[in-house]
A and B are shown apart, each in its own frame.
Chain A
Amino acid sequence: MPEHRLLLRDIDIPDIEQMDMYVTHGGYDAAERMLAEMASQDVIDEVERSGLTGRGGAWEAVAPKWRAMPAPTATEPNYLCVNANESEPGTFRDRKLIERNPHQIVEGVLIAAYAIGARTAYIYVRDGMARGMKLLEDAIAAAYERGLLGVDIRASGYDLDIYVHPGGGAHIAGEETALLEALEGKRAQPRARTFWPHRTTLFGQPALVQNVGTLAYLPHIIARGAEWFSSLGTQRHPGTCVFCVSGHVRRPGLYEIEMGAATLRELIEEYAGGVRQGHQLKAVLPGGAASVVLTADQIDVRLCPEEWAVPGGGPLQGNFGTGGVIVMDETTSMVDAALNLMQFYARESCGQCTPCREGAPWLRDVVRRVERGQARMEDIGLLESVAAQVSPLLGEETLALCRFAPSFAWAMQGFLRAFGEEFAQYIEAGGCPFPQDKGIKVPDSVSVRF
């Protein structure tokens, strides 16, 4: 089955990051038409009819969030804050979208900002993406030069400034309200939310936070129409999904597939070429570090949010996540993989809520004890107990302000449920009971030009 590329459609065109080349391939046609013919409400209506949902991991419908924004006035402005703090383990879509086709992002930002009447947009780009930041800044400068940004754009009476905001390298800054704190020059600690729509503010004014990978769809939706977009993918999540496949496959990389059109097995075996030669599949994290690990015989599942408990209420446990598929072969120790993730979570917890600040290091330390062969059999129950205290029973309930804590609690519970036997073998053997391969590996090839 071929890919269905929208966001990645132009990604391999040489010089597409240059304004002329982007325009040659139809770039800014959508924005020009919008500025000439559409009122801001028309844009929101179009996006509502398209059914676009957020690609940052929450999969919430985009248009209601836009409608919930109060209308801006001269003294009470709105802000658009673009989340490009990509740092979920296994996810590398936004980096490529920014580095390969920055104008697609700038055009998407222009469309969303126009729709909500924001005259300032900040693109919060993660640390470690210096090249992408430079390319975005160059694209923004070229858009000013072409008269697509600045004052009274195309005589529409609408003004927009876009600024690239370099982030500080914290994973949690990608959480919606933490990102706003970061933009305000504070520690990126999530805010308490009480009701929906969350009244998100920046500098005391209404602010819309949207993932960069969501906004990149907007030029396509405005150019080709809501009906076309909503005919793709599933009813609840129209369009495509860019899957990031990494780990022990022959062809790691980005694969853009119509939502729900492929199974996880097809993605791994057909698109990514299967597990590296001479090896067998052992486990898959289907949606980044925050998803629940699947065993080799659990991959005949349709790839769409509806199949997962979160956000779709489906039969699979945990999060559908962000499209970051991490593939592990039989040389991988599941204790080692769990330890790696718990180290990540312990290091990235913002420290604000007790279950998270204390729970993540506890889990890390106990998994490390198992990995080093110093654990007792009761430690498996201890891991379960700590995970359950952080977030009870893979439920929606959490004792923390944001979804970071349930993410690692579910990840830990997932490892214990699927590979508890291996944890027990480690404890009995006093260490890893089989040979691991921790050497450098070179895949056959990589899809998408890097």
Chain B
Amino acid sequence: MEFLAETKRECEEILGRYPHPEGALLPILHLAMREWGHIPPEAVVYLSTLLGMSPARLQGALTFYPAFRTQPSGRHLIGICCTLSCSLMGATEVESYLCEKLGVEIGQTTADGRFTLTKMECLACCGTAPVMLVDGELHQSLTRVKIDQILERLN
């Protein structure tokens, strides 16, 4: 398992920003997520060589941060914010509506592999609650109609 040539060049540039290669860990894990969608055990070995750190240390950090996934997800990853302000403004309804609409429970992927539904902690956008993150893009002031429109645009 290796990065594409272009990603390798990006890696080199990122590594140059830090006096020690381990500093580049989080940015490079984000590159790995972008390229592979998740970070499997083979990638851990490859990345640990790239960063000059032990696979155990890399695995430890990888599993600490919720931004990274070790399991594959659907083509689109939905994260519903479930923390207090969003909860007050209707995150429970957002969750039940999405579960019903997609026919899955939290943590599951739709049978067609299109969506994976997850819950997240505070996304720092409480003034326009309820909110959710879809493929890294934030959607605010959600209503049922808005959720329908967002999902329709995704294949």
Contact indicator B90/A129 (Cβ below 8 Å): no
Contact indicator B88/A328 (Cβ below 8 Å): yes
Contact indicator A94/B124 (Cβ below 8 Å): yes
Is B151 an interface residue, CB under 8 A from the partner? no
A350 to chain B, nearest CB (A): 8
Contact indicator B126/A246 (Cβ below 8 Å): yes
Is B44 an interface residue, CB under 8 A from the partner? no
- Point out the residues of chain B lying under 8 angstroms from A89, CB to CB: 83-85, 121-122, 126
Contact indicator B67/A169 (Cβ below 8 Å): yes
Whole-angstrom CA separation of A193 from B66 in the bound complex: 26
Which residues of B are at the interface with A, using a C-beta cutoff of 8 A?
A: 17-20, 22-27, 29-30, 51, 53, 57, 60-61, 64-68, 79, 82-85, 87-90, 92-94, 120-130, 133, 136-138, 140-144
Contact code string A104-147 (vs B, CB < 8 Å = 1, else 0): 00000000000000001000001111110000000000000000
Is A87 an interface residue, CB under 8 A from the partner? yes
Whole-angstrom CA separation of A52 from B125 in the bound complex: 26
Which 10 pairs show the lowest CB-CB distances between chains A and B? A168-B65, A185-B25, A440-B90, A185-B22, A246-B126, A169-B67, A246-B85, A127-B67, A187-B64, A438-B92
Whole-angstrom CA separation of A285 from B89 in the bound complex: 15
Which residues of A are at the interface with B, using a C-beta cutoff of 8 A?
A: 77, 86-92, 94-95, 120, 126-131, 161, 163, 165-171, 182-188, 203, 205, 244-248, 252-254, 285, 289, 324, 326, 328, 332, 336-337, 340-341, 343-344, 347-348, 350, 438-442, 446-448, 450
**21 A–B pairs (Cβ distance < 8 Å), ordered by A:** A89-B84, A92-B125, A127-B65, A128-B138, A131-B138, A185-B20, A186-B61, A188-B65, A244-B127, A246-B126, A247-B84, A252-B127, A289-B84, A347-B121, A440-B142, A442-B143, A446-B127, A446-B128, A446-B141, A450-B128, A450-B140
Contact indicator A92/B127 (Cβ below 8 Å): yes
Closest chain B residue to A331, Cβ basis: B88
- Point out the residues of chain A lying under 8 angstroms from B17, CB to CB: 120, 161, 163
- Point out the residues of chain B lying under 8 angstroms from A438, CB to CB: 87, 90, 92-93
Contact indicator A344/B26 (Cβ below 8 Å): no
Contact indicator A184/B85 (Cβ below 8 Å): no
B2 to chain A, nearest CB (A): 20
- Point out the residues of chain A lying under 8 angstroms from B51, CB to CB: 185
Contact indicator B127/A168 (Cβ below 8 Å): no
Total A-B pairs, Cβ < 8 A: 178
Contact indicator A130/B88 (Cβ below 8 Å): no
Contacts A128-B136, A169-B65, A442-B141 given; indicate if A87 touches B124 (C-beta within 8 A). yes
Contact indicator A203/B89 (Cβ below 8 Å): no
Q: Which of A91, A169, A185, A332 contacts B88 (CB 8 A)?
A: A332
- Point out the residues of chain B lying under 8 angstroms from A326, CB to CB: 84-85, 88, 126
A346 to chain B, nearest CB (A): 10
Contact indicator B23/A188 (Cβ below 8 Å): no
- Point out the residues of chain A lying under 8 angstroms from B93, CB to CB: 438-440
Whole-angstrom CA separation of A126 from B121 in the bound complex: 12
Contact indicator A130/B136 (Cβ below 8 Å): yes
Contact indicator A188/B124 (Cβ below 8 Å): no
Closest chain B residue to A129, Cβ basis: B124
7 A-B pairs besides A127-B65, A205-B19, A440-B142 with CB distance below 8 A are A128-B138, A165-B27, A184-B20, A248-B88, A438-B87, A438-B90, A450-B128
Contacts A87-B121, A450-B140 given; indicate if A170 touches B65 (C-beta within 8 A). yes
B70 to chain A, nearest CB (A): 13
Q: Which of B24, B26, B84, B90 contacts A341 (CB 8 A)?
A: B84
A408 to chain B, nearest CB (A): 13
Most buried by A among B19, B25, B26: B26
Contact indicator B143/A185 (Cβ below 8 Å): no
Closest chain B residue to A205, Cβ basis: B19
Most buried by A among B85, B121, B130: B85
Contact indicator A440/B127 (Cβ below 8 Å): no
Q: Which of A92, A185, A341 contacts B124 (CB 8 A)?
A: A92
Q: Which of B61, B64, B122, B142 contacts A87 (CB 8 A)?
A: B122
B113 to chain A, nearest CB (A): 23
Whole-angstrom CA separation of A386 from B11 in the bound complex: 46
Whole-angstrom CA separation of A77 from B60 in the bound complex: 29
Q: Which of A168, A248, A328 contacts B26 (CB 8 A)?
A: A168
A32 to chain B, nearest CB (A): 26
